[in-house]
Amino acid sequence: MNLEQQFLNNSVQTYIVIVVILLVAFLVKRFISRFFAGLIYTWIDKKNHSELRKSHVHRLIVPIEQFLLYLVAVIALYELHFPESWNIHLFKLTLQQVTESIVKFLFIILFIRVCLRTLEFISIILEEKAKLTKDQTDDQLILFFRDFFKVILYIIGFLLILHYVFNENIGNLVTSLSIVGAAVALSMRESLENIIASFIIFFDKPFTVGDLVKVNNFTGSIEKIGLRSTRIRTQDKTYISVPNKQMVDTIVDNISLRTERKIEMDLQLSVATSADKLANFAAYLRNQIANESSILNQYVFISESGKQFHVIHAECYVSMESSLETFQMLREKLNLAAVAYANQHQINFAEKA
């Protein structure tokens, strides 16, 4: 066989060399992709747990293999001369120009895909490490920045396609986009404020995922802190979204950070109740509350006396370590004790006007 024989403006030897290169690349791509995936994993997790490594490295191997094989194919085929007989015009473009644009387009797509998979790969590893800590803030922070950098990669891919595939001047485009972006920013002021508020929440940490909070008359647990809003699972098991700007600007009661729970009672008694009975009732409540070992502090006093009713105000505090069920049962016990005392001593509660 004459290796110098020309076929479509290229020698047979050139075709053989390209096929050999592609075969070698096909055979070693798995080893190279595993090496790069393992290198990234070791860089992120220096402890290098074998079980975590096996379960996560495969996520990155396939896109790296495809990208490496395509890269080698492009470099190898670049040595081929485009046949002049094929150089026809399509919409004022030659077939060679169209082919080069398609090759660049696929290269950018595969490159961005590898970057996205690498980002997801890193975020999964960091999520596994974050689950080992009690603080859930780092879990949400990883998801937040993963989504943020995904948007950045999509924008970079879009600009690369415009520049290398459609031969657009990115400088002029960026200038134009900045003007358009300023106009869009004005029209989307609230959305930008919510994004800025999300950064404030992450770094100031007034609350974290898992905290029980009260905001805008809703009480529930924080399930997710996103770029635009915070998701709360209410005590009624509904799922609400509150704009992050509102979570920053309004008063948020972080119930999880309370050191004590409060039991509060306002007993409105009839104006016919004598002063001695009021004093004895208040003393009885003080004694009942003092007998409860779980109560840390107490305040019982006659807070109001007037034309419509007298008021005995009682409040006491228990540790947050007590379960909600124990807290509610204690509240019920104190209320029933007050009612029983009033019935026993013929003390009437005030009627509604």
For each of the chain's 353 residues, which pLDDT tens digit applies?
566 666 666 666 777 777 777 788 777 877 777 777 777 767 766 555 555 555 566 677 778 888 888 888 777 777 766 666 666 666 677 777 777 888 889 889 989 988 888 888 888 777 777 777 666 666 667 777 788 888 889 988 988 888 888 877 776 666 666 666 666 655 566 777 887 888 888 788 888 888 889 998 889 999 888 878 899 999 888 999 999 999 998 889 998 888 888 889 999 999 889 999 999 999 999 999 999 888 888 999 999 887 789 999 999 999 888 887 888 899 999 999 999 999 999 999 988 65
CB-based contact 267:338 (threshold 8 Å) = yes
Residue 242 phi, psi (nearest 5): -115, 125
> pTM (2 decimals)?
0.50
Q: Which of 187, 217, 240 delimits the end of a domain?
A: 187
Residues 6+ apart with CB under 8 A from 105: 161, 165
Domain that holds residue 217: 206-256
The Cα 68–Cα 340 span in angstroms is 82
Is residue 353 domain-resident? no
Is residue 86 domain-resident? no
Is residue 235 domain-resident? yes
Asked if 335 and 277 sit in the same domain, the reply is yes
Number of domains in the chain: 3
Of 322, 334, 337, 314, give the one whose Cα is nearest residue 261: 322
Asked if 163 and 68 sit in the same domain, the reply is yes
